[in-house]
Amino acid sequence: MIDELPEPMPDLDSLPFWEGLKANELRLQKCSACGALRWPARAICNRCSAFEAEWIACREDARIASWIRTHQVFAPAYRDRVPYVVVQVVLEAQADIRLIGGWQADRDPVYREAVVPRYSKRPSGTVVLDWAPREP
């Protein structure tokens, strides 16, 4: 039996983000006062201190900022899944938003390469955000 992968644990701030993934949308908060995107989801804008925000479907393309390949088993669920690649991407929509995600390609990521999201549905019904090369 393969152990279940760790599931997202949304809180009241982040729930719309995770619901967005189920609709295959990258939903982020956009500050109603200054227009800045907020990450992680939270009550206040780190630029202008406004509380008001709306959830928008954000521009999805991104670039690889870094990546790692995990060989050591840190949790039982990964016993049969190592080695695996995790990427850190920077959104083109706002350069200070960096997301962690899985990698969907048969090759290693390349620094600064353009990537697009893959909304990956698990058997549990959860949708997580993986990334793949943006093919020409």
Task: Mark 33-52 with x for binding to Zn ion (rule: CB under 5 A) and - for no binding.
Answer: xx-x--------x-xx-x--
Cis, peptide link before residue 8, omega less than 30° from 0 = no
Q: Please tell me what DSSP assigns to residue 78.
A: G
88 binds other proteins (CB under 8 A): yes
Task: Mark 110-129 with x for binding to other proteins (rule: CB under 8 A) and - for no binding.
Answer: -xx-------------x-x-
Convert 36-47 to b/e letters by CB count within 10 Å (16 or more is b): bbbbebeeebee
28 binds Zn ion (CB under 5 A): no
Residues that bind Zn ion (CB under 5 A): 31, 33-34, 36, 45, 47-48, 50
